Amino acid sequence: MTSHLPQPVRSDARDNRARILDAARAVFGEEGLSAPMREVARHAGVGPATLYRHFPTKQALFAETFAEQRRACHAAVRDALTDSNPWHGFRSLIERICELHAHSRGFADAFMTAFPEAMDFAADRERTLHAVRELARRAQKTGQLRPGFVVDDLVLMLMAHRGLQDTPRAARVTASRRFAAYMIEAFSAAPATGAPTPLPPAPRLQLTHSPSTP
Amino acid sequence: MTSHLPQPVRSDARDNRARILDAARAVFGEEGLSAPMREVARHAGVGPATLYRHFPTKQALFAETFAEQRRACHAAVRDALTDSNPWHGFRSLIERICELHAHSRGFADAFMTAFPEAMDFAADRERTLHAVRELARRAQKTGQLRPGFVVDDLVLMLMAHRGLQDTPRAARVTASRRFAAYMIEAFSAAPATGAPTPLPPAPRLQLTHSPSTP
DNA sequence: AGCCAAACGGACGGGGGCGTCCGTTACGGT
DNA sequence: ACCGTAACGGACGCCCCCGTCCGTTTGGCT
């Protein structure tokens, strides 16, 4: 175990690093991972070189930028597993993950994308999926989660959820909530006979402008 | 009405135009709209200039490339409207559109993206949405489509469906079918009490490699 | 106050994609 | 067979973006 002696870090460096991370969260959260590094640098009030000194590559910046959201995801899974009602835990998990993905546009991409190896997302993912598998098993036992469900279905829906992210922020979270509600409806074994579950408000969606129009 | 006298079109030009469209369908279908024009040109065995002479801009090429799929979509809507069972028509519509979107990777983007104005997608869209609204009204009257449903929900799901397209072709159509099934499940008012609807096979999804890794 | 190293940032090189120019090719009508 | 013209395609300019280099600034310790 390497004991880091508190190598004197210059204050401006530490400040800039923090400002860069804030800027990255804002920019990538609003414009997605395709936002130029220069935009982050401008937003942080530093030069490109400074940005690259702190984070040698764009992916390195991604990893640090979304560390917090990753922790939030872990927490959501943990909470879902410890919920005394598995089906309620399962539903809450879906809602929380969708909310997280909807609030920063880049995070869903970072989360659902297998990066070359920079991040240890892979390991993460394996453990997480295992946990969800267990949760699903329990929720199926109560008869509330439909029997045909497999964890890949959640992955499927989360990948689909990414399709909502090319949408203005305001509509995005509303759309995301409605999508989550439909997802839960689709996964549930048998909606209350007669009265269907009420849904959150429907978003007024407008089409994307524009995927390849420089 | 301008009567086009059959301006003598040289045979090689007509051949090349056809080859370019075939190439465009193949390339954009497999790699998405972000595929370089040069790739289409190479695949068609022509130079870039020839491509641009036939289609002055990338969007113009899009418009022609997906004309056939657009007609297929119109046909699907028409069929759905004339189905004697509105709910069956509605479900078939969803399945057919998803199938179309899954089979060529670029089409979904072209379909769900509001292009600056090149295509008359906007008009299309308005008429189509109106038709679907009517269909939904009928399906709700039979009590099989859930009361809360609004057409924007279909748009929502179709936008989400785009998220599945960064997936290898084989998995893509399987994933798409399963997604369509879940969508229908979510939209249906009350699945057969007791026995949930069986689903198509679940795809084995692998994560995307990679959105911004040149 | 003075010094030194760490940190900064403007400018640069490399790569890729879109759309265009102009010299060359080859179709097709005579 | 010939010739005019439409069509072709390699090469070019332009722009955007990633990542790097080097001269300059500035924090912090003595």
Same domain (yes/no): A137, A153: yes
**A-chain residues near B114 (CB < 8 A):** 206-210
Of the pLDDT bands very low, low, confident and very high (cuts 50, 70, 90), residue A119 is: low
Same domain (yes/no): B58, B163: no
Same domain (yes/no): A72, A137: yes
Same domain (yes/no): A74, A45: no
Q: What is the distance between the alpha carbons of residues B94 and B182, in angstroms, rounded to a whole number? A: 11
Mutate to test the interface with B, among A94, A129, A159 (most CBs of B within 10 A): A159
Q: Would you say residue A73 lies in a domain? A: yes
What average pLDDT does the structure give for chain B? 88
Q: What average pLDDT does the segment A139-143 reach?
A: 96
- For A39, A191, A194, A201, B176, the CA distances from B149, given in Å and listed in that order, are 40, 15, 16, 10, 21
Nearest protein residue to nucleotide C7 (CA to C1' distance) is A13
Q: What is the pLDDT of residue A3?
A: 46
Of the pLDDT bands very low, low, confident and very high (cuts 50, 70, 90), residue B214 is: very low
| Among the ranges given (A148-162, B64-78, B139-153, B194-208), the one the predictor scored with the smallest mean pLDDT | B194-208
Inter-chain CB proximity A211 and B34 less than 8 Å:
yes
**A-chain residues near B178 (CB < 8 A):** 153, 156
Q: What is the pLDDT of residue B196?
A: 65
Same domain (yes/no): B125, B170: yes
Each residue of B159-201: pLDDT tens digit? 999 999 988 888 999 999 999 999 999 999 975 555 667 778 8
Q: Would you say residue A155 lies in a domain? A: yes
Q: Are A92 and A83 in contact (CB under 8 A)?
A: yes
CATH number of the domain where residue A32 is located? 1.10.10.60
Of the pLDDT bands very low, low, confident and very high (cuts 50, 70, 90), residue B132 is: very high
On chain D, which bases lie within 7 A of the protein's CB atoms? 6-12, 16-22, 26-29
Residue A16 domain boundaries = 12-65
Same domain (yes/no): A34, A79: no
Of the pLDDT bands very low, low, confident and very high (cuts 50, 70, 90), residue A81 is: very high
Same domain (yes/no): A56, A77: no
CATH number of the domain where residue A103 is located? 1.10.357
Q: What is the distance between the alpha carbons of residues A70 and B57, in angstroms, rounded to a whole number? A: 41
Inter-chain CB proximity B193 and A191 less than 8 Å:
no
Each residue of B2-12: pLDDT tens digit? 444 556 689 99
Q: Which candidate, A191, A171, A193, places its Cα nearest to that of A181? A: A191
Same domain (yes/no): A36, A81: no
The tokens of B74 are what? Answer: 């119109």
Inter-chain CB proximity A156 and B178 less than 8 Å:
yes
Residue at which a domain ends, from A42, A65, A88: A65
Q: Are A97 and A76 in contact (CB under 8 A)?
A: yes
B82 pLDDT higher than 90: yes
Q: Give the SS3 label for residue A108.
A: helix
Same domain (yes/no): A22, A89: no
Inter-chain CB proximity A164 and B156 less than 8 Å:
yes
Same domain (yes/no): B170, B71: yes
Same domain (yes/no): B60, B163: no
A175 pLDDT higher than 70: yes
A132 pLDDT higher than 70: yes
Total number of domains in chain A = 2
DSSP letter, residue B202: P
Q: Would you say residue A137 lies in a domain? A: yes
Mutate to test the interface with B, among A205, A206, A209 (most CBs of B within 10 A): A205
